[in-house]
């Protein structure tokens, strides 16, 4: 029997937080040595002049230059700005915490070393002013100098055996929905996450899409995009459940469109996606030059 490995849970300090709105951003502020009930923030200067630290900004709506498409009241965006990434990382954290998959942390975000790589993109789905779902893509290809992905590291042998390590692959992971966003609308948001990855795989000229999921979720992926397992179950330290690697040819995106019209992308989506990628790459290059 395989032994379960859980992440080490470190003792956590207890803090209280204050939220305020500044323009198009929601600001989370943690104070040191001040009862928050007596603090009021109405401007940036008040925040700067208080004894604060670890301030995190998140947007209160999709940012116009990040929007990929809109459908049935939903808005999809690629996270280019730090504030949007913060929101996606917090949504990940809340989703994983809701099933006790990761330990508590004071920052209330879930991120890893891959998030900083140039071959990585993070996305949000919005509905009625709330970020309700998120997913991440990592592209394994010569275009990104074969920068690693989670599954390339964990399942290198299986990928080499079934797909080939010289094959361009898009990995989809950190697939989450807000724990409080349920029912039919939740499924619609998930179809839009599939739509985003279908677009990304086409833009990056990938041959396959791969994803590592809980084995009990494999049937969901098979139903909509012909995903099939190419590995046995694996226990890892990052999350408190086993994972299994699935893969599907990019051509299976056609089945996705047949399964759900909401998941079918349009030519305009491809163009908008390219524009967002260019904006993201421009920001990455400016950070490297700074």
Give the CA radius of gyration of the chain: 20
Distance CA 93, CA 288 (A): 28
Count of Cβ atoms closer than 10 Å to residue 70 Cβ: 12
**Share above pLDDT 70 across residues of the chain, in percent, rounded to a whole number:** 77
Average pLDDT over the chain, rounded to whole?
A: 82
Domain 61-289 in this protein, CATH class = alpha beta
Q: Residues 104-143: pLDDT tens digits? A: 988 899 999 999 999 999 999 999 999 999 999 999 999 9
Task: Give residue 192's Cα distance to chain centre.
Answer: 13
Distance CA 180, CA 186 (A): 9
Q: Residues 76-105: pLDDT tens digits? A: 999 999 999 999 999 999 999 998 888 998
Q: Residues 23-68: pLDDT tens digits? A: 455 655 554 444 433 344 444 444 444 444 445 677 778 999 999 9
CATH 3.40.630.30 segments of the chain: 61-289
Q: Residues 248-257: pLDDT tens digits? A: 998 877 666 6
């Amino acid at each position: 029997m395989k032994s379960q490995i859980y992440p080490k849970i470190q003792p956590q300090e207890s803090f209280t937080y204050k939220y305020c709105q500044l323009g198009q951003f929601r600001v989370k502020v943690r104070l040191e040595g001040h009862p928050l009930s007596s603090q009021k923030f109405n401007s940036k200067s008040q925040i700067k002049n208080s004894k604060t630290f670890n301030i995190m900004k998140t947007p209160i709506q999709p940012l116009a230059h990040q929007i990929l498409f809109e459908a049935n009241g939903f808005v999809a965006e690629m996270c280019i700005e730090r504030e949007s990434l913060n929101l996606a990382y917090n949504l990940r954290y809340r989703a994983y915490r809701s099933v006790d998959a990761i330990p508590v942390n004071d920052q209330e975000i879930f991120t890893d070393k891959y998030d900083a790589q140039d071959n990585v993109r993070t996305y949000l789905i919005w509905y009625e002013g709330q970020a309700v779902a998120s997913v991440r893509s990592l592209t394994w290809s010569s275009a990104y100098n074969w920068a690693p992905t989670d599954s390339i590291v964990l399942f290198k042998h299986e990928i080499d055996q079934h797909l080939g390590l010289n094959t361009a692959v898009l990995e989809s992971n950190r697939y989450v929905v807000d724990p409080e966003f349920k029912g039919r609308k939740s499924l619609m948001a998930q179809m839009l996450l599939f739509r985003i990855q279908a677009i990304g795989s086409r833009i990056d000229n990938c041959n396959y899409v791969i994803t590592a999921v809980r084995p009990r979720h494999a049937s969901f992926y098979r139903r909509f995009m012909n995903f099939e397992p190419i590995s046995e179950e694996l226990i890892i330290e990052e999350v408190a459940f086993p994972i299994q690697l699935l893969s599907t040819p990019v051509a299976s995106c056609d089945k996705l469109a047949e399964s759900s019209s909401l998941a079918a992308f349009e030519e305009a989506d491809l163009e908008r996606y390219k524009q967002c990628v260019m904006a993201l790459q421009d920001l990455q290059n400016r950070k490297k030059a700074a």
